[in-house]
Amino acid sequence: MPITKKYKKIVIGNWKQNPTTHEAAKNIVKHIKKTASELKKTITVLCPPFVFLQNLGKGEQPFSKGAQDVSVFESGSHTGEVSAEMLKDCEVEYTIVGHSERRKAGETDAMVASKIKALHFAGVTAVMCIGEDNRDSGGQYLDTLKNQIKHSLAGVEKKNLSHLVVAYEPVWAIGATQAMSGADVHETAIYIKKVLADLFGHEYVVKVPILYGGSVTFRNAGEIVKEGHVDGLLVGRESINPEGFNEILKVVDAL
């Protein structure tokens, strides 16, 4: 579902290739479910590996189902691929595309664009990840972000921007000892909005949520969202730690 005025923030948990068993996946869901049900202003999205999607339950839940990737193909002889329609049938509402780990493995902006269009055709919200490898003092990283945005959204229709979330994840901050400062996040979020507005027009992108990801914990979540003026967070390693993730949800919802 696209974000509505009812909700102010969104927190996405990217489990990556974790955990190793269905029982462990069920345990994570069990501990997050109660906290998610108590939130007043925040959407919780859980993105487990494909094999654990059913562990998130069926029907209405206090969180949204998410996936970590999607195929560029609709169907056919593509071994190992999972299509947007398959995800939709599994009640997936959000799907991460263009994550730095996928880009490092060879995913291009053109592939990201194809995946976004496939998701939009199926009615699934795309969480488009962007981020520079290095934050140089000369500001060339801004050109990197601009090109990622421009090429990853090539061919995407304005009418489908209500099903787009942009997750800014500076590669150098992922797995680091500390996250990016709130002030720097704010500066970058403004730039991202400007690039989007230049491409599609302000009226079409004003409601596109901008999230931050990269070494997020419950200790820095509040500062990042408040001082960074972003619409939420994409959480990696802490998302499989129910206690820490629940604290992040509470901190964000209290803002």
In the residue annotation, 93 being an active-site residue is answered as no
Identify whether the C-beta of residue 189 lies closer than 8 Å to the C-beta of residue 119.
Answer: no
Burial 140-151 (b: 16+ CB within 10 A, else e): ebbebbbebbee
In the residue annotation, 99 being an active-site residue is answered as yes
Identify whether the C-beta of residue 14 lies closer than 8 Å to the C-beta of residue 239.
Answer: yes
Integer Cα distance of 235 and 42 in angstroms: 14
Integer Cα distance of 190 and 173 in angstroms: 19
Of the candidates 85, 107, 169, 238, the residue annotated as catalytic is 169
Identify whether the C-beta of residue 229 lies closer than 8 Å to the C-beta of residue 7.
Answer: no
Neighbour-count burial of 254, counting CB atoms closer than 10 A to its CB (0-12 exposed, 13-18 middle, 19+ buried): exposed
C-alpha angle 211/237/66, rounded to 5°?
55
- Residue 162 is given by DSSP the state G
Residue positions counted in the chain = 255
Of the candidates 85, 99, 107, 238, the residue annotated as catalytic is 99
Identify whether the C-beta of residue 67 lies closer than 8 Å to the C-beta of residue 92.
Answer: yes
Phi first, then psi: what are they for 87, rounded to 5°? Answer: -65, -45
| Residues annotated as catalytic (active site), given as ranges | 99, 169
